[in-house]
Structure 1
């Protein structure tokens, strides 16, 4: 027997707080399906307060266990359950559960490649060659095509290798807003920073910044700021390369000096693992080390980590709690690296062809909608 709106009458006998509590513990995809049960369910499960509580629990699960997803770009996007990479003990494994995601409302023929700029709370910022910028929720399939900035676009030379390195993406927890950052050229010869707000669906220009060169990859969000490795203009302090951190709330830059030994590398990038900031190489030369900042913002806490493998590009992506095994992307391939024993295992994907150069990202499944968020 069903009620007039399609809901089961048995739910009417349960206190609403119990139904809500049960649904909060369900995977995001299950909650999405339950929204179709009835209008009352849709209303309850789409409520902004419910969505935020569900996200908070999902983030706790990601930090405590193997919950979470790996998002890999090629001509489309592919996701992998992070928990699946821990099964088995053979040296080379084919990962199960690779799933080609939808093309976020675009015809596949219009997409030649996809770049991931970053992810935050289940929303992923992506850039497509012909369609521009999107905010995309891989779990719900919802996407929002962002308006173009009203300010000048990139000059051609900045687009030749990679557009995404001039971007950054993150969540401003104080204003409850998601922001996309974009460096653009200026008449003065150094970049300005344009900031897109999801809440207002508009762009704002930050005054030009004294950068001579911006690092090799998109900015990375950690501790409420987006980070790049940059070279400052002459006359600026400090005089060497630094990590530039753009505070998403105050919209100000602060600078973190690099370790002394890392000064001479022409191309470095930041990464994050278990909440800590890492400095890694991304260059044509071979390297065998990286750095971790044990206390955020404290220059003296940079610690060098010597690795047992040579690489040109090394990016730590994910590690389960209390695990010495870390998923890393090394020279365009995926590896499980054990920091306790300095050993590694190669990982392989089945039925997926990647571009020669790509950046993978991790994300948590959530119900955050890029389309209704500004109205929450």
Structure 2
């Protein structure tokens, strides 16, 4: 079946559909990871977006119930050059085509993803629509405009609705869930932490009631400026307990400390982003997934600890006097290199642990 991908500037790509029939709308971004499509599809940070994979062949090792970052796929749509029809993996239990149909994901294949990626790189990420319906480009452009007017709380859609507990014998960690990846929880669990995961809108009093040794602010989707309640709550936690931020949590923590955010032209999405750590002097290859960044205009109490080697954006900071560390990239990777797992050890030490 034929499918169209139309961007809000009128650029159109004609290809073939896979997965569900119908339409999908969202912001179109590209991811440069060569593997890890299962983790990408299920990453809650992609809620509201349609992901273009720059690697040309996707699905060659199928899908399983292990390599996922949430209980279901979170992307609005999926864009590839070629989807594999003959996947092979001893753990695989469902083919790519069956997977996308089961989870009602609209996909488009057989388009020039290199051309699409260069277009986004040159003109910035923009909203788009994938459609298998016989509609004109003008009709599809109108649907994009209508969809842009809708206001949705993406974090609310991916956050847990109730507090839950992952038992451990180590330090007690409260995780504020803005769309937490399961790999973050797995790493804390593997380090013995006693984990309590809270809904994104939990009050400071609810978090402090369990008397945690540390608080982790998770990754998640969307614009941090759309969550004033969250960063106002974080302000009330400053100095009360050791705090670590990751991705969206990093941005919200930065705003709570007086910083400002801005939208990147096409974001950072992939498993190969070089980041310099000013503390160790090393350059790490990192996994990233964000469209917003913090401005480098903090007061003198904040020390910038990491920058992106490619564009100089802020990738990490710490506080001179308070027990606070934060990183923009994903130290848990999944997919991507695990160079930066040490960040979790630093956090647990800050929380009084021995890691």
Task: Report the TM-score when normalising by structure 2.
Answer: 0.25
- Which structure is higher in strand share? 1
Look at both structures and tell me which one has the larger radius of gyration over its CA atoms.
1
- Which structure is higher in helix share? 2
Structure with the greater relative contact order (CA < 8 A, sep ≥ 6): 1 or 2? 1
